Chain A
Amino acid sequence: MAKPMTMTEKIIAAHAGRDHVNPGDNVWVGVDVLMTHDVCGPGTIGIFKERFGQNAKVWDKDRVVIIPDHYIFTAEDKCHRNIQILRDFVREQGLKYYYDPDFVTSEPGMPNPYKDPTKTSYKGVCHKALPEEGHVRPGEILLGTDSHSCTAGAFGQLASGVGNTDAAFVLGTGKTWLKVPPTMKFTFRGQIPPYLTAKDLILAVIGEISVSGGTYKTMYFAGDGVSSLTLEDRMTLTNMVIEAGGKNGVCDVDEKTLQYVRARSNVDHWTVYKDDPGCAYDCEYEWDLGTLEPLVAKPYSPDNKDTAHNCRDVKIDRAYIGSCTGGKITDMIFAANLLSGHTVKIPTYVVPGSTEVHADMLRLNIQGQAKQEGEKSIYQVLEDAGCLISASSCAACLGGPMDTFGRLNEPMACISTTNRNFPGRMGHKDAGVYLASPLTAAATALTGYVTDPREYVSEPIATGSAGVL
């Protein structure tokens, strides 16, 4: 009988044309989708042309996805120039999937954002846009020139971040070499309680294994606790595996996954892999969701874990809700339910993770249902609570140009639903970032101190089919 394999081992074996692989094997694999954006695209294109020639063609124009998202709302002319480099490449190569910020023109200065999020080719943050636009499916290999490309593993595929050279190599050949990672298994038992989101779960994991505990490894999230999460919340788990050094993160494929993929995928076939009984794990951890508390990661490391409750005396100057990690529509629903009818005490910046999220914030009520006449939208609830809301982009999650919305341009304490809090990540080197769930960030916005959301939330927050259909 064949030796049992994990999901990730099976995906690599299938893409390497082998029956079997073992952790540690180096293999060449075919890549299904390659994604790049405005920060790493120009460098990748440069290496591609240098190595394959000025007139070279990409290996498959339907498998290259370009999603500008990082430096969109800035007056810096080099950023606009970089978008133009992407446009020229897309035209020259005849690429099928490009999501242009059509409001960025040759005019100097800060671009005027899209007026209607449903009427622009721009999509916003790549990791949110990839599944929305149908580029994510079980069983495939997706590489992106962004470390958070691992997000797509929530859909039961192998997704990982690469640099420009690797991406340029894939552009020309459709292939890359991978070392087969061993799999770490993280099991969550029970149903997710109303005061927790997946952000608390992944902060618990990173706090346990450290920012390097997953280095070179697959992080597999299992158990009924993970099944109880929405797809968007599973994306929060896999999104942050890179913060533990993980190569990729995966969740099992279930009916929720298939419902999403059937509705969205632009390819109509895929293969569902699951771990064989008896397959080998590098290590196993288990949590009972009933005993987990709302967590934060204190400055200056995502593994600097503490409970929100323990940090209740920490004064916070700003709240930030956004990014591929914490700017999805369900994150907005969580925050809006908590903020509804209240007023924030500190400046609270909200950045939709995609133009679809932005549109849904306008279209849905805080139960995730289409809002009825006289009902407030998620957007209105957040605006009425005093939040400052911008157009979708990566914005201040990674600091970016000095004029970026929400950027921490001076030393201050910020609570944020984003993914990293290393020195200078959101701007100023001396600014301290507390990573937290959208519930904890919203509760903190109401008090100006790190606040355990259990002070505000006791009933489950419904999200309907928001973020799925």
Chain B
Amino acid sequence: MKEKLLLRLEVEDFLYREASLLDEWNLKEWLTLFAPETRYEIAPTGDPEASELDAAEALFLVADDRERLEQRVIRLQKASAHAEYPHSRVRHIYSNIRVLSTDGDEIEATANFVTFRTKRSFTATYMGSQRYRLVRNGDSFLIRLKRNVLDLDSLVPQGKVSLIL
């Protein structure tokens, strides 16, 4: 029991750090939290089975491998990424963090999230659940999968997901 509790606290610490890097738009350091083989995904909105879908077969909002995730980070630091220039203000709130299973050095965890994005006096709210596959890396973790499933029928009125969830 104590071990499980400690693991959850470790995972919480790690995820809160991740959220804080996103809130600071410190994407370069955020990228260092990801494993060499990794996926960052946002499943389609409005699909009741969104959490079960495979990006090879369905139209996701985001389905990045390591290479495209790096390119996403590079892009979001440019003034020519107009939707995020100047950067919006973002606030990531993670909650209900649970460790679902451990398999060797791999840990599966879930969290609920609410993320606010404010630009030009308009605040968009993104909420849903996240699934992580984490792998041990010294006294911390690396992310092998971060999959966001939005509790939204559509991106009305959000308009886009130009930020990182």
A and B associate: no
